[in-house]
Structure 1
Amino acid sequence: MFSYPEIDPVAIAIGPLEVHWYGLMYLLAFAVALLLGLWRARLSWTVLQPKQVEDLVFYSAVGVIIGGRLGYVLFYNFPAFLADPLWLFRLWEGGMSFHGGLLGTVIAILLYARKIGKPFLRVMDFAALLVPTGLFFGRLGNFIGQELWGRPTDSAWGMVFPKDPEQLNRHASQLYEAFLEGLLIAIVLWFYARKPRPTAALSSLFLILYGVFRFVVEFFREPDAHIQFDLFGWMTRGQILCVPMVVIGLIFFIGAYIHASSSKEEAVTEYDGAKK
């Protein structure tokens, strides 16, 4: 059993003002996304120019925050909202949903793509590369803040979280997610994106990978206390939300290659016809 590292969740305290590590991780996530986006935009075949990356990150950040909060309220604790509608705006009390943040980001990117006159799916492909590192820092923030910990385990790599009232040896599921949803997806996507790919292939591959990894990690993560298990007595709310992600991702990924193949055939036919 590992010992939980003594990390103060408050990174900076100046009088009554406290800056938590979780908030700093959000800032770090957006900063790294901006740097990666600027680097990526230097390639001649990417959809965005470097000057457009800053606006993309800004739109995405707004979408993550608004969508993440609304998603948590709608997907995970709607009764609390009905009992106290102002709870929606008390972000400092916690409660953000990845799936809601994803939907918020998609809407934000759709609006931004229309504003600059760029194909929505190509901008989504560009943005998909910037998401995993943000997830990595976000899960580290969860770990430092001692939230979203794992289920009890007898394994030697479990740990006791000081904030856990039951003081059980638990999976550090936040770190599992940081590795799988963050580092591993980032490595796969950036390796895959070394050369041009069919439109929508990158973003759909992200949906597939995240959905699969999150579904697996949910077996090690403690379900929400007020929800527990939703379906069949073992599926969590997070797993249910991941199923449509994987299905949609597979449809778009396969469709991307089918469309790219047919487009090439049409281009060859037109070219051969012109030669004749």
Structure 2
Amino acid sequence: MRYAATSGGELISIEKYAASPNTPQALTCPGQAPDGRPCRATAWAKALNSPYVRPHFAAKEHITDCDEGEAAVRARKGHRDGSTTTRTRHEGPTLLLITPSSTPGKDTRTPTTRTKASGRPMATAITGPASRRSAPTARKVPLALLLARALSGRLDPETTLALPDKTRGPVSRLLIPANTLTKDHDGLHACFYGRVTDYAENTATRSVFLNLKPRPGTSRRNTAGFMIREDQAPSVQDNLDASIGDLVDHHVIVIGALRVSANRGSLYIVLDDTDSIAYQR
């Protein structure tokens, strides 16, 4: 979170908090439920001295549907601080969705004809020529919209997905829940998505790992995560207009390749570049 609420009910930004010689205590989440109830979950500052992650506020045990918590998927009007300044939302690179062509069945027309015997009109079914095959349709979609469609189930599995590097294939092969990956997928290049549960800084590799929610019955150690290198972290956070820590409890999508650690056998996904990431706010 970029803001927290003080005991006096005032908002304080993480930038102001980090620069303050006397930091306020008893901070709470400034979010609220759809019915207007304040959250007031205990909040605290994180990553104040991190070389990779920018400072941010964190909180836990949000009230149900808090617009700062895990269930936050609806857009807020304006900004938490009341600002109306336009901030361009980072939606990631543009991809191409190509829907398959379709061939409707034969056109069966039922014109009215006249018989000589009775002189009364009689309906007679006449099979017309086969309808023409409709051409495939292509639509450009930003990475963030692709994530929204994946989460809502609004993607035809027969749709073709074209990545920015011109790689093409069925959406079922190039848009993959990251927690379904195994070591057999080593080297796979595609779009991967999942819900971030927390992050961990690794000084040995000079990077940050976004841990993702595992599938039931699967340990976190055997679940792939997203790796952001130290040199990528500033640009990623600039593009997202958010700290890496703000991605916790949100769904994130990246374009990258799966790697398997030679030492520990853990799975991680490296980003194509600092633009190849988006998240659901």
With normalisation by structure 1, the TM-score equals: 0.22
More RCO (CA 8 Å, sep 6+): 1
Structure holding more helix per residue: 1
Question: Whose radius of gyration is greater, 1 or 2?
Answer: 2
Structure holding more strand per residue: 2
